[in-house]
Amino acid sequence: MREVAVIGVGMNRWGELWEKSHRQIWTEAALEAVDDAGVDHVDAMYVGCMSSGLFVGQEHLGALLADQLGMGPIPGTRVESACASGGLAFRQAYLAVASGAHDVVLASGVEKMTDVDGAAATYALSTAADQEYECYQGVTFPGLYAMMARAHMHVHGTTRRQLSEVAVKNHRHGSKNPLAQFPQPVTAEQVEGSVLVADPLRILDCSPITDGAAAAVIVPMELARGMKKHPVVRVAASAHATDTLALAEREDVTFLASTERAARQAYRQAGIGPGELSFCEVHDCFTIAEIMVLEAIGLSARGAGGQAAASGFSAFGGKCPVNVSGGLKSKGHPVGATGVAQVREAVLQLRGQAGDRQVEGARYGLTQNMGGTGASSVVHVFERVEP
Amino acid sequence: MREVAVIGVGMNRWGELWEKSHRQIWTEAALEAVDDAGVDHVDAMYVGCMSSGLFVGQEHLGALLADQLGMGPIPGTRVESACASGGLAFRQAYLAVASGAHDVVLASGVEKMTDVDGAAATYALSTAADQEYECYQGVTFPGLYAMMARAHMHVHGTTRRQLSEVAVKNHRHGSKNPLAQFPQPVTAEQVEGSVLVADPLRILDCSPITDGAAAAVIVPMELARGMKKHPVVRVAASAHATDTLALAEREDVTFLASTERAARQAYRQAGIGPGELSFCEVHDCFTIAEIMVLEAIGLSARGAGGQAAASGFSAFGGKCPVNVSGGLKSKGHPVGATGVAQVREAVLQLRGQAGDRQVEGARYGLTQNMGGTGASSVVHVFERVEP
């Protein structure tokens, strides 16, 4: 397999973009990535999108968006893996370059979630869970993550305050991200006083409904080395693993086994351990999720994610800042775009272009994107390459 | 890139499978492919599915079906490209093996279309067209293909009877396929006397609404050579191209430019021309589509597809039989599964295992799968490898 590098990234301002169509949102991010890369063509494109059929009545995004890009009749492929669609689209783009099939590939993600009302959005998102065995009982995602949170509190002693600290940290981080949907800082008291959604999760424990897109341009390493526009960022590892779709079938609902598997493979491929990471971007769709991810990627001992999250370890300035971009919580969560936006943040950090939120001397960054209650996990490791 | 071979194929009986769930339909085909391959594990799986969100309220098929397969927490990826979803899932699986990322990969496709009523199915299928510029005007797929047929008749002199001959041939072929949904032979008079759907297309010009699945197991060539169960079938070429999603934006609505592009790439990769093909499986979603595909893949001159289709050239026993399986017309068209079922037919033919419908001495077979009105085309060439 060929070595692969990221040479361009793009993302638009996320939020409730009622004045923009699905394709327009995507095109803004895609053209920014192409411009950032400084290339005049791409050979193929991949797009991650969870449920454009239910959200905007449009499937067949590969051909639609390839046409929209205006760079000829290139192969355009849509990948879907619920909220991990973006990360998995990036992985398929990586495989296309690594295999030698294509040289300049656009990896992208998009979701337009606000063209339907709240109940329809909740239904569309519920299709990431097991429709026949979970949704049929009436449960939706806040309920599923609430059960994981309750179990984690019961088994490991995780506290309400530790959940709140994740939200407080990520909104503080997001306040430095000009593209974030909710850059407002929040206090633990505000989180704990916010509307209850599914006990113990309150509205400020949940990531929002968002319209947005993100994109990246990747090429073989030898091509990247000849380009002088930006420092070179290498894809040091790409891994993907699954778990049962239904939460009830898991051995341990307090642990993200698919993330652990994917992370273990990624560390092996990259030749590093969690101790060498400069920062991570992880899938904090709910505050409890970030706590569980810290355990699964080896940044804390099993069961100790709550303590780690509240310790300052994962805050900007700490040993390994987590979700410096604001994460899903503050930046927003257009489900198909999230995994690619994580890649964008990693690339900006490793290039030293992250502005006010720059992690000094960043060398390795990890991104973790997951679908459902962790039935799919996609983990990538990126490395700054010295000139 | 590594050379890739197909070592196992599977498909269930297609039709209106009200007694079986989406996942059950898929699992039948997947397990048959694994059994046919004689392997005890797969390293990763891909599934093509167009719109399980709209048809059965279930996204996140990669994780769901990987779990359903029962071979561990393997990476499971869903690919969507409207009616080309299956062919494109096969191509992504091919890239995963060719790249060296995985060794034993299951490529599959599935669609469960009969759990919704006819209007909802027509709506779901319309999401393969341009929702903002085509569907908004009220047109659906029979209407779009009817316009292509009218233009082809007007510009090239294609006749009503030539359209009928495609249906007659494919139903005659399908009568020898025990898994076909509509194996009944039809006459030209029956086609021309059937209910008008969108002038000039009648109900017997249209492929049906179908539930079904198909699967294939692929491995690197060096692994396939060590397996003695079946003759080895090599993937000689894999290509993918796009066109504008909206028909109105095409230069020539009587020609499938994306199929021509993909076919040209595929012939180059395989090192053969159309004259060396022993048979083809092509995307006859409507009778006019097969006529246009014959031109685009070089089996007839441009504009002469109607004459070629009625000449016996493409019939069983002719120079290059097309859709010996019965095609989409007779076999059925569960949209996400179609591209993989084409691969299954090609493999059975090249192994000499096609029974009553065996094309004698088959050496090269081509499969062509497309999405929308030809906005996406995926072309593969398969070759029988001499032991």
Estimate the share of chain A in helix, then strand, then coil, as percent rounded to the nearest 5.
40, 20, 40
Beta carbons of B245 and A64 less than 8 Å apart:
yes
Angle between helices B85-98 and A85-99 (to 10 degrees): 60
Q: Which of A60, A95, A241 comes nearest B376 by C-beta?
A: A60
CA-nearest residue of chain B to A80? B78
Strands, DSSP E only, in chain B?
4-11, 44-48, 76-80, 105-111, 196-198, 201-202, 212-220, 233-242, 279-281, 364-371, 376-384
Tell me the CB-side half-sphere exposure of residue A135, using CA atoms within 13 A: 19
Go through B231-252 and write b for each residue having 16 or more CB atoms within 10 A of its CB, e for each that does not: ebbbbbbbbbbbbbbbbeebee
Q: Which pLDDT value is given to residue B365? A: 98
The single residue listed with the structure tokens 């699954």 is: A242
Mean pLDDT over residues B275-292, rounded? 98
B200 touches B148 (CB < 8 A) = no
Whether the per-residue pLDDT at B387 is higher than 90: the answer is: no
CA-nearest residue of chain B to A83? B60
- As a whole-number percent, the residues of chain A with pLDDT over 90 amount to 99
Q: Which pLDDT value is given to residue B386? A: 80
Q: Which pLDDT value is given to residue A258? A: 98
The residue of A21, A49, A64 whose CB has the most chain B CBs within 10 angstroms, and thus the best one to mutate to test that interface, is A64
Beta carbons of A242 and B76 less than 8 Å apart:
yes
| Cβ-based burial of B378 (10 A; exposed 0-12, middle 13-18, buried ≥19) | buried
Min Cα separation A136/chain B (Å)? 11
Beta carbons of B375 and A242 less than 8 Å apart:
no
Min Cα separation A91/chain B (Å)? 10
Mean pLDDT over residues B56-64, rounded? 98
The single residue listed with the structure tokens 């919580």 is: A329
Min Cα separation B23/chain A (Å)? 10
CA–CA separation, A163 and A290 (whole Å): 9
Summarize pLDDT for B85-139 with one digit per residue, the tens.
999 999 999 999 999 999 999 999 999 999 999 899 999 999 999 999 999 999 9
Element housing B91 (H / E): helix B85-98
Among A22, A49, A83, A240, the active-site one is: A83
Min Cα separation A315/chain B (Å)? 31
Distances from the Cα of B274 to the Cαs of A282, A319, B318, B365, in angstroms?
50, 62, 14, 10
Summarize pLDDT for B322-372 with one digit per residue, the tens.
999 999 999 999 999 999 999 999 999 999 999 999 999 999 999 999 999
Give the single-character DSSP code of B11: E
Give CB contacts under 8 A, 24+ apart, made by A221-228: A221/A2, A221/A3, A221/A4, A221/A5, A222/A3, A223/A5, A223/A7, A223/A103, A223/A104, A224/A5, A224/A7, A225/A5, A227/A7, A227/A37, A227/A38
Among B83, B206, B285, B320, the active-site one is: B83
Min Cα separation B173/chain A (Å)? 30
**What's this model's pTM, rounded to 2 decimal places?**
0.98
Which residues, 6+ apart, have CB-to-CB distance to A85 below 8 Å?
A48, A49, A50, A79, A109, A335, A336, A339, A371
CA–CA separation, B39 and B178 (whole Å): 26
The single residue listed with the structure tokens 């539930």 is: B211
Summarize pLDDT for A140-173 with one digit per residue, the tens.
999 999 999 999 999 999 999 999 999 999 999 9
Summarize pLDDT for B22-47 with one digit per residue, the tens.
999 999 999 999 999 999 999 999 99
CA–CA separation, A382 and A142 (whole Å): 31
Pairing type for strands B233-242 and B376-384 reads antiparallel
Closest CA to A205 of A176, A236, A162, A234: A162
Q: What are phi and psi of A164, to 5 degrees?
A: -60, -40
Q: Which pLDDT value is given to residue B7? A: 98
A166 touches A313 (CB < 8 A) = no
The residue of B27, B45, B59 whose CB has the most chain A CBs within 10 angstroms, and thus the best one to mutate to test that interface, is B59
Beta carbons of A67 and B244 less than 8 Å apart:
yes
Min Cα separation B37/chain A (Å)? 23
Q: Which of A50, A66, A101 comes nearest B1 by C-beta?
A: A101
Per CB-CB distance under 8 Å, the chain B contacts of A62 are 80-81, 88, 242, 376
Per CB-CB distance under 8 Å, the chain A contacts of B63 are 81-82, 242-243, 245, 258, 371-372, 375-376
Closest CA to B383 of B219, B216, B234, B220: B234
Q: How confident is the model at residue A387 (pLDDT cuts 50, 70, 90)?
A: confident
The residue of B43, B242, B251 whose CB has the most chain A CBs within 10 angstroms, and thus the best one to mutate to test that interface, is B242
CA-nearest residue of chain A to B249? A67
Q: How confident is the model at residue A78 (pLDDT cuts 50, 70, 90)?
A: very high
| Preceding amide of A334 cis, omega within 30 | no
Which phi-psi region, left, alpha or beta, contains residue B277 (left: φ > 0; alpha: ψ -120 to 50)?
Answer: beta
Pairing type for strands A105-111 and A44-48 reads parallel
Mean pLDDT over residues A44-71, rounded? 97
Query: Which amino acid is present at B32?
Result: E
A363 touches A278 (CB < 8 A) = yes
B39 touches B104 (CB < 8 A) = yes
Per CB-CB distance under 8 Å, the chain B contacts of A249 are 67
| Distance from the first to the final alpha carbon of chain B | 22
Q: Which of A63, A127, A241 comes nearest B73 by C-beta?
A: A241
Which residues, 6+ apart, have CB-to-CB distance to B306 below 8 Å?
B152, B156, B157, B158, B159, B162, B163, B291
The residue of B26, B47, B64, B256 whose CB has the most chain A CBs within 10 angstroms, and thus the best one to mutate to test that interface, is B64
Q: What are phi and psi of A295, to 5 degrees?
A: -70, -45
Active site residue B22: no
Give the single-character DSSP code of A248: G
Summarize pLDDT for A305-359 with one digit per residue, the tens.
999 999 999 999 999 999 999 999 999 999 999 999 999 999 999 999 999 999 9
Mean pLDDT over residues B64-83, rounded? 97
Per CB-CB distance under 8 Å, the chain A contacts of B67 are 242-245, 249, 375
Closest CA to A7 of A91, A105, A118: A105
Positive/negative CA dihedral, B63, B69, B74, B75: negative
Beta carbons of A60 and B75 less than 8 Å apart:
no
Q: How confident is the model at residue A132 (pLDDT cuts 50, 70, 90)?
A: very high
At B239, list the tokens. 């290509």
Summarize pLDDT for B228-278 with one digit per residue, the tens.
899 999 999 999 999 999 999 999 999 999 999 999 999 999 999 999 999
Per CB-CB distance under 8 Å, the chain B contacts of A74 are 241-242
The residue of A134, A245, A269, A369 whose CB has the most chain B CBs within 10 angstroms, and thus the best one to mutate to test that interface, is A245
A12 touches A179 (CB < 8 A) = yes
Mean pLDDT over residues A92-115, rounded? 97
Q: Which of B78, B129, B375 comes nearest A79 by C-beta?
A: B78
Per CB-CB distance under 8 Å, the chain B contacts of A23 are 132
Give the single-character DSSP code of B382: E
Which phi-psi region, left, alpha or beta, contains residue B216 (left: φ > 0; alpha: ψ -120 to 50)?
Answer: beta
Summarize pLDDT for B172-212 with one digit per residue, the tens.
999 999 999 999 999 999 999 999 999 999 999 999 999 99
Per CB-CB distance under 8 Å, the chain B contacts of A79 are 77-80
Min Cα separation B301/chain A (Å)? 23
CA-nearest residue of chain B to A131? B58
Task: Please report the ipTM that was assigned to this predicted complex.
Answer: 0.97
Apex CA B116: angle with CA B112 and CA B119, to 5°?
120
Q: Which of A59, A81, A257 comes nearest B127 by C-beta?
A: A59
Mean pLDDT over residues A97-113, rounded? 97
Q: Which pLDDT value is given to residue A211? A: 98
CA–CA separation, A334 and A112 (whole Å): 7
The single residue listed with the structure tokens 């090599």 is: B234
Q: Which pLDDT value is given to residue A386? A: 80
Active site residue A285: no
CA–CA separation, A182 and A170 (whole Å): 10
Beta carbons of A371 and B63 less than 8 Å apart:
yes
**How high does pLDDT run on average in chain B?**
97
Q: Which pLDDT value is given to residue A274? A: 98
* Farthest CA pair distance, chain A: 56
